[in-house]
Every structure is written in structure tokens, then in C-alpha cells.
Structure 1
């Protein structure tokens, strides 16, 4: 393996570990279609890999279009104690979640289902801006 290849692999590993070190702990719920209109984009459909942000993160629409990587870290519901499916999902902020707590994100149903069992309803997560 060449020196350049080794350097690129090392840089990629450092970048990945740095992103994990800056993750924010929180909780996630989900909302169901229809996803339009949204606070950020009105009736323009932004797909299903979307998220509604809590008021602090949304910051008066300044978060519109920001992308976040979300990973399930555990359950909050004794009925579904191990809801995580593994992996991450990359989401775009399209809306405000007015009922969300300061550490909460409201994922689209499809996004939630990629990382956790929807029967859990609410999960523990880590997220960071990408």
C-alpha cells in the first residue's frame, strides 16, 4: 500500500472519530406524512429523509437546510428495550418541532424506521451536523 493511500486512510479515520467526539446526545420521535407544507420550504417537497428541529436548534429558521447525521443509541421504552437497527441516517432540517424538548429531534417516519423500530416511539440518539 502506497504512502498516499495510507495517509488518506489515516485522514478518513481521524475525520470519522472527530465527528463522533462532537456528537450531541438527545432523543428522537417521529412524525407521519404528509410532510408538506413545512416551515422552511412551504409546499416544496424535500423528500422523506427530513427532520423537524427543536426551537433552540431551529433558531428562527436559521437551521433550514442544515444536514444532521443521526444514530440510535438505545431505547426509552420498556416495551421495546432494544429498538436500534444500527447505522446512521443523514437528514435535512425542514421544519420546527414546537413541542420538542431542547435535546429532541422529530424525524420523518421513514428516517426513524431506518435506524430504529417505530414501535418504540421514542429513542435515545446521538446527532451532529454534517
Structure 2
């Protein structure tokens, strides 16, 4: 049992008589002062305001005993939350940045903070760029060959089980050069958080590939695209088992659901960038895709045609 040691009462000492003041008038004056103090209110306007409205950024808590847990103030809670690892090391330019807004000036949906995963909108990250031979542009995301080789492989940590697949990233070098790439591949360990393995073609836009390793900063983009989203069922899919993939999305995909007899069912995401219905429930039905900003696209009429990219008429909004 924890005990608290209390100090003894403070001893008030008399420092002798006050020169020139008789004892009786002094006592009378003291009593008058005490009576006047009793008539004053116990707190001024500031005290009343403090009791009525807590200061912004401070969490009100109820009194607790010596052994009772006390809730942390809001500032402490926020600091603890920010201590969790970000997608990579944020650049100094992002420190103290204002909340992200949409083109209309309104705040972006809160969903962007929770659904984005490690790579978040309106946050700058820093790392190093390396280069690899991209071949036909296919990679771990299984999008297939690409005519546009402005592509990159995301490091294993920020790849986050294919969550980064399809994301557009603006990469900047210290020399002022920049390039926009689409994430189509994974750079396995020991690729460090923040590292991007660019196609040689993309790396050449920043520096001579002979450099090998190049310090960079990068940010997530929501670019202008002309195509609509496509849906593809994985090879071997049927109404008993299926994998569903989203292609050509402007913003990173946060989740995918299929319509079942009991309602919408969210499918787990694999690290090869397909959402899997291992028991077939929902395969061939309506599909609902949600991006990191919380926007949902519902697609009907997509038949189970394995390994065929079926175009839709929808696309996520630009942010």
C-alpha cells in the first residue's frame, strides 16, 4: 500500500510588536478586514469563466484518489499518437503544415488520416532513390505490362501489403529536378522506409543513374487522369473462389467490398494486390471500392471473367 507522508502544521511566529500601533485598534482593524473579505465573492470573472468553459486543447478530468488512474491531457494524448511510426521520415517542410484542404478550400475528409495507412496525403517524406531495370513495367502489384515506364517500387515497409499499389508519387531531388511515378512494384528488404526504387527511366529524370543512390523527398499525388477505373478477376476465379483487383485508380484504394445476401462484405487484401473471397461469397456481385479520402465507387454488372480488365464508367475525385 502506498502511503503519503504529510508535513506537520506550519508554526506561525510573532515577530514582536508593531511600533506605534496600540493593541486594541489593531485588533478592531483586523476584525473589520476579515468581515469585508467574507462579503467578497469567492472568485472573479476569470474564475467563473474557467469553471464554465475548459480551455481549448485541455481535457477535463474528474478528481481521482491516490490510486485512481488519471486521464492524460489532450496534448499528451496527441503527442503519444504522433509517436507512432509514419510512412517514413517526414521532411522538415511538412512540420507544422496546415490541415489539407480540397480544391474548394474545405477540409479533406477525416477518413484520409485513418484509411491512408503509412502514406498520407499532404505529408512530405524523405529517403533515398535507387534504380532498377523495370522491363515491361510489371511488378509485385500485378497490374501487368505498362507502356509508361515512369514507375517505381515502394520499399517493403511503406508498400504495406500492397496498400501503396497504384499510388502516384511526386519525387524531388535536391538539384531541383522532379518526376511523377506510379507505384507498381515492391522493393524488398533491406530497402529502408522512405526509399523508392525507380525505373532507370524515371531515375534519369532526376540524375545520372551512375549516381546510384540519390537523396530525395516525395509526396502523394491525386493527379489528373483521363481513364476510368477497371476491375479484374484473378486467374482461376469462379463463384466458389475469387480474387478482385482494382486498376487505373487516381487515389490509393483503402478497401474493397462485395455485395452478398446479407449485405456488404469487406474482403482482405493480399500482398499481391488482390482482394480475396476464399469461400466465394460475393464473387460476381456488385463491388464497392473506397479510396483513402473516403469516397466510394459502386460498380454493378462485372462478370467473373478471369484475367480480363473490365472498364467501368467511374473514377475517384481529384484532391
Q: 2:183 aligned with 1:93, yes or no?
A: yes
Whole-Å separation in 2 of the counterparts to 1:37 and 1:87: 25
Mean CA deviation greater in 103-112 or 41-50:
41-50
Aligned length: 100
For residue 65 of structure 1, what is the aligned residue in structure 2? 166
Q: Would the alpha carbon gap of residues 112 and 36 (structure 1) be closer, same or farther in structure 2, given more than 3 Å must change?
A: closer
Change (3 A) 1:37 1:91: closer
Structure 1 SS opposite 2:203: helix
Deviations 1:51-106 (A, max 9, x none): 10011211111111001000112xxxxxxxxxx4x321011000000031112110
Greater strand content? 1
Query: Residue 216 of structure 2 corresponds to which residue in structure 1?
Result: 125
* TM-score, normalising length: structure 2: 0.30
Higher percent of residues as helix: 1
Counterpart-to-counterpart distance in 1, 2:178 and 2:216: 10
Q: Which residue of 1 aligns with 2:308?
A: none
Unaligned runs of 5+ in 1: 1-11, 13-20, 74-83
- Cα deviation for residue 111 of structure 1 reads 0.6
Question: Structure 1 residue 42: deviation in Å?
Answer: 4.8
TM-score with structure 1 length normalisation?
0.69
Check the 8 A contact 2:137/2:149 in 1, yes or no: no
- State the SS of the aligned residue for 2:205: helix
1:107 counterpart = 2:195 = no
Contact 2:123/2:220 (8 A) holds in 1: no
Distance 2:219 2:136 in 1: 23
Q: Distance in 1 between matches of 2:207 and 2:194?
A: 18
Whole-angstrom CA distance in 2 between matches of 1:98 and 1:46: 24
For residues 51 and 108 of structure 1, the distance between their equivalents in structure 2, rounded to whole angstroms, comes to: 6
> Could you tell me which residue of structure 2 aligns to residue 40 of structure 1?
141
Task: State the 1:128 CA deviation.
Answer: 0.6
- Structure 1 runs (4+) greater than 6 angstroms displaced: none
* Structure 2 counterparts to residues 1-20 of structure 1, below 5 A: none
Give 1:17's aligned residue: none
User: Hey, what's the Cα distance between the residues in 2 that align with 1:53 and 1:46?
Assistant: 19
What is the SS of the residue equivalent to 1:33? coil
